[in-house]
A and B are shown apart, each in its own frame.
Chain A
Amino acid sequence: MNTKQTAQLLKKQKKTILESWMKHQLADEALRDDLISNDDLRRQSEELLNGIITATEKGNFDNVYSSEYDLVNDVLNDISITRARQGFSPREVTMYVLSLKQAIIEVMIKEHKDQPELLFTEIQMTNKLLDNLSILTFETYLKGREEVILRQTDEINEISTPVIRVWDGILALPIIGTLDSQRTQIVMENLLQEIVNTGSNIAILDISGVPAVDSLVAQHLIKTVSATRLMGAECIISGIRAEIAQTIVHLGIDLSSIKTKASLASALQLAFTMLSLEVKKKNTGNIQNSRLIR
């Protein structure tokens, strides 16, 4: 049994394989012609097929991690990462490689119809090779998707922790989304740095955007409050919703050492009181004046 013969068969029938492969891909209902044009698809497919033919030239159908397959791996990585970013589904990406298998096998059947034993070994080899390649594709596809998720997480972390100066000496920090250890760290660092920069006395942590508070989140909140206190500023937690208050009490978390308020407005009111500030309605007598004019 000579694997080189098979490789030669592939080389000889390259055109037929490519045509048949393209036909399979175009016939597939899942083809995303909105995401990739037919010309691009053909170019990609040809590149990959050329790579596979060069790699198998010396009869290596088994080890896809050898240096002969470097080019194939590169092309596949490229394809699956771009497809992951473009939003192809896993099925579509895997089908791309698996439809090549079908095309190759069809050619082999046509060529060795009268030699069933040879045909059997060849199909087995092709199966193994393309299965390996599709695993590779899928791994890279997942990696690409994970990169997208990681980048989004980073972005969310960056944009979601603004420290607002609401008054001279009063900072507000609205927290939106779940608080995990990593985010608490960022929130805490931003807040403390801003306290140093502005010399503020009071920080209001508004948690009305936090969907749920469990013991871990409460722990993080307490940490932030303690750190603020160590810096010499006071911390008020506001925006505690009814269900959050219930969870906190049911979990037996002690927040008695922390000033808590139901709304940002009442927290601001408390902050004004602590700074001995007073907000009054301006007495302009506008209404009386307008009456007089009439």
Chain B
Amino acid sequence: MDRIPILKMGPFLLVTIQVDLYDRLALSLENDLINMVSKTGARGVLIDISAVNIVDSFMGRILGNIASMSRIMDAETVVVGMQPAVAITLVELGLTLQGVHTALNVEKGMDLLYDKSDLLTDEQNNQEDTEEPDDYND
């Protein structure tokens, strides 16, 4: 059976869904992802669905489930790159994914995750490093 790879990126987990999700695949993704969160102690999960063209109510519920489960385990969930048609379908189905953060693309999603989990990005870390000497001069 296919599996969707889950990548670890620093304190976060990155999932890119490249195929159309059928029910069993979605269930196994949910299972794998939660196990992975617990194993790595990730602070955030980023799900990229920009390649997904078709969703149904089940898929919407799985996304909601993943978000709820992750939050219990202290990890925020961001869904990024949703297609307009997918967004319209989910709204028509009445699934507004409350509790799931959304972003336009992976880049903005990452920023949002850093923001939500109170972690500093590498850039901000660097900035602070460079600023420190100035402080000493004063």
Q: Do A and B come from the same complex?
A: yes
- Mark contacts of A187-218 with chain B using CB atoms, 8 A cut-off: 1 yes-contact digit, 0 otherwise: 01100110110011100000000000000000
Please give the distance in Å from A202's CB to the nearest CB on chain B. Answer: 11
Instruction: Flag whether B88 is at the interface (Cβ < 8 A).
Output: yes
Near B by CB (< 8 A), chain A positions 209-230 give 223, 226-230
Tally of chain B residues near chain A (CB < 8 A): 20
Residue of A nearest to B60 (CB): A230
In the bound complex, what is the Cα–Cα distance between A193 and B81 (angstroms)? 12
- A199, A200, A201, A227: the one within 8 Å of B87 (CB): A227
Please give the distance in Å from B84's CB to the nearest CB on chain A. Answer: 3
CB contacts (< 8 Å) of A201 on chain B: these are 104, 108
In the bound complex, what is the Cα–Cα distance between A188 and B108 (angstroms)? 22
CB contacts (< 8 Å) of B92 on chain A: these are 223
Residue of B nearest to A193 (CB): B84
A232 touches B96 (CB 8 A): no
In the bound complex, what is the Cα–Cα distance between A134 and B98 (angstroms)? 61
Chain A's interface: helix, strand, loop or mixed, by majority? helix
- Mark contacts of B68-83 with chain A using CB atoms, 8 A cut-off: 1 yes-contact digit, 0 otherwise: 0000000000011111
Please give the distance in Å from B101's CB to the nearest CB on chain A. Answer: 8
A230 touches B103 (CB 8 A): no
A230 touches B102 (CB 8 A): yes
CB contacts (< 8 Å) of B86 on chain A: these are 230
B91 touches A231 (CB 8 A): no
In the bound complex, what is the Cα–Cα distance between A169 and B18 (angstroms)? 27
B91 touches A227 (CB 8 A): yes
CB contacts (< 8 Å) of B84 on chain A: these are 189, 192-193, 195-196, 227, 231
Instruction: Flag whether B59 is at the interface (Cβ < 8 A).
Output: no
In the bound complex, what is the Cα–Cα distance between A225 and B102 (angstroms)? 13
Near B by CB (< 8 A), chain A positions 225-248 give 226-233
In the bound complex, what is the Cα–Cα distance between A223 and B80 (angstroms)? 19
Count of A-B contacts judged by CB separation below 8 Å: 55
B108 touches A232 (CB 8 A): yes
Instruction: Flag whether B105 is at the interface (Cβ < 8 A).
Output: yes
Instruction: Flag whether B90 is at the interface (Cβ < 8 A).
Output: yes
A232 touches B102 (CB 8 A): yes
Instruction: Flag whether B66 is at the interface (Cβ < 8 A).
Output: no
B109 touches A232 (CB 8 A): yes
Near B by CB (< 8 A), chain A positions 90-142 give none
Instruction: Flag whether B97 is at the interface (Cβ < 8 A).
Output: yes
Please give the distance in Å from B21's CB to the nearest CB on chain A. Answer: 16
B102 touches A229 (CB 8 A): yes
A226 touches B82 (CB 8 A): no
A199 touches B104 (CB 8 A): yes
In the bound complex, what is the Cα–Cα distance between A261 and B104 (angstroms)? 24
- B87, B105, B108, B109: the one within 8 Å of A230 (CB): B87
Please give the distance in Å from A68's CB to the nearest CB on chain B. Answer: 52
Assuming A189-B84, A192-B84, A226-B96, is B91 touching A232 (CB within 8 A)? no
CB contacts (< 8 Å) of A228 on chain B: these are 87
CB contacts (< 8 Å) of B97 on chain A: these are 230
A-B contact pairs, 16 of them (CB 8 A): A192-B87, A192-B88, A196-B104, A199-B105, A201-B104, A223-B92, A227-B87, A227-B88, A229-B102, A230-B91, A231-B102, A232-B79, A232-B80, A232-B82, A232-B108, A233-B104
Residues of B near any A CB (own CB < 8 A): 79-84, 86-88, 90-92, 96-97, 102-105, 108-109
**Smallest CB-CB A-B distances: 7 pairs:** A192-B84, A232-B102, A232-B103, A230-B87, A227-B87, A232-B104, A226-B96
Given A231-B102, A232-B79, 20 extra CB contacts under 8 A: A185-B88, A189-B84, A192-B88, A196-B104, A199-B104, A200-B104, A201-B104, A223-B91, A223-B92, A226-B91, A226-B96, A227-B87, A227-B90, A229-B96, A230-B79, A230-B87, A230-B90, A230-B102, A231-B82, A232-B80
